[in-house]
Amino acid sequence: MVLDETTSSLVPADLFIQPGDQPPIVTEDLTPQMLTLYRKIGIFAHEEPVRRVASRVQKIDPAWIHPMHGGSFKRELAPSFYQALREQELAYDGMLRGRELPIEAHAAY
């Protein structure tokens, strides 16, 4: 992640990802789509580290968030994203990059 303090802009890598073709500036809550994508493609294996990062980002309170994938959004929309990351399931759900793993692979986790 990168924080530009002069513009109060956060570039959070895959945190706050938004699937699909989004406008340059997002004004709607896309957290259900974000969480579904996280669970399906397996970006995050565990929820707790993501929850800690979301809380830290919220304390920084950037004016703008510029996700690696999707549109940018202002701080007014950010609380819905923070809340979703802290309270909803987002970890790997048995799929890897959208494909179900064989039973043997599940045992390794």
Place of tokens 């802290």: 86
User: Considering only 18-22, 26-30, 73-77, which range has the smallest mean pLDDT?
Assistant: 18-22
Edge-first strand order for the sheet with 64-65 is 2-4, 9-11, 64-65, 73-74
97: confidence class by pLDDT, cuts 50, 70, 90: low
Strands 64-65 and 73-74 turn out to be antiparallel
CA distance 80 to 103: 35
pTM confidence score: 0.81
Domains in the chain and their CATH numbers?
2-108 (3.60.15.10)
pLDDT tens-digit readout, 6-15: 999 999 998 9
Question: What's the token pair of residue 8?
Answer: 């109060």
Question: Judging by beta carbons within 10 Å of its beta carbon (0-12, 13-18, 19+), is residue 47 exposed, middle or buried?
Answer: middle
